[in-house]
Amino acid sequence: MIITIDGPAASGKSTAARLLAQKLSASFLDTGAMYRAVTLAAMQASVNMSDEDELLSVIRTNKFEFSVTDDEMSVRINGIDFTEQIRTPQVTANARYIASCPNVREKLVEMQRQFAASRQKIVTEGRDQGTVAFPDADIKFYLVADSAARAKRRQADLRAGGDDQTLEQIQMAIEERDKSDKNRAVGPLKPADDAVIIDTTDLSIDGVVEKLLSCVKEKCLKKN
Ligand code: DC
């Protein structure tokens, strides 16, 4: 069983996907962590972020390992744990170069399919999971929320990590990422035609998970 959850930055996908996976005893895949890992490796190698061949060589010459421990995606590059370092604002800002490189996307989608192939049940989240990576997924969700609500959530997360940015700064960065996610030529952010769209603006995370779970139950009942 494959469940995809796509949506813009800070729409609550990651936490919702993780909790839904827990409830369904399914595996969880945070595909943003993959883009972040390649971004960090590219930054470490000081490659030209606009050069597709150089970015591809980053994938070829580094060993990336993704696993789920304590319900979090952990990331190792060449055997070293970089789970925390892939979340820095610099990595977040540079990830758009990796995300808009077609050949890199192709490789990452391949890795995502391999990850899913060895698992019975998976909840996978990102931008293109229902549209490109798993067009035949059993259930597809697309989460949305207005950018002011998303900025508030992101600010709370950042504050918890000791980073104090203004709401305006955060909302502007989120809106820029939306633009870059929606307008890239490959794997753009958009709902699959058969996705269930859920607006999380006024929902708590528990409320989101409840909605997802009830849709899953309803769809499973219909199938059987
Ligand atoms: O979800 P996130 O913020 O961790 O994603 C990090 C970056 O990766 C962001 O620039 C969007 C991109 N991404 C993507 O293009 N496709 C995915 N399936 C997942 C993430």
Q: Which tens digits make up the pLDDT trace of 155-164?
A: 998 888 888 8
CA 4 to centroid of ligand 1, rounded, Å? 14
The rounded Å distance from CA 224 to ligand 1 centre is 34
- CA separation for the pair 181, 168 (Å, rounded): 20
With H, G, I as helix, E, B as strand and everything else as coil, classify residue 203. coil
Does residue 96 line the site of ligand 1, with CB under 6 A?
yes
* pLDDT in the model for residue 161: 80
Please tell me the predicted confidence (pLDDT) of residue 73.
87
Closest CA to 40 of 101, 87, 86: 86
Q: What is the pLDDT of residue 48?
A: 96
**221 Cα to the center of ligand 1, angstroms:** 32
Residue 38 near residue 94 (C-beta atoms within 8 A): no
Give the tokens for residue 105. Answer: 């996307």
Residue 133 DSSP code: I
Interval 106-134: pLDDT, tens: 999 999 999 999 999 999 999 999 999 99
Under the banding of pLDDT at 50, 70 and 90, the label for residue 221 is: confident
The pLDDT mean for the chain works out to 94
- 1 contacts 116 by C-beta, under 8 angstroms: no
Q: What's the CATH code, domain 2-223?
A: 3.40.50.300
Per domain, the residue ranges of the chain are: 2-223
Q: Is the pLDDT of residue 178 over 90?
A: yes
pLDDT at 70: 66
DSSP output for 28-63: EEEHHHHHHHHHHHHHHTT--TT-HHHHHHHHHHS-
What is the mean pLDDT of the segment spanning 76-100?
Answer: 94
**Which band of pLDDT confidence, cut at 50, 70 and 90, is reported for residue 184?**
very high
Count of residues in the chain? 224
List the residue whose alpha carbon is closest to atom 18 of ligand 1. 126
Q: How far is the CA of 127 from the centre of ligand 1 (A)?
A: 6
pTM for this entry:
0.94
Q: Is the CB of 128 under 6 A from ligand 1?
A: yes
9 lines ligand 1 (CB under 6 A): yes
Count of C-beta atoms within a 10 Å radius of residue 173: 19
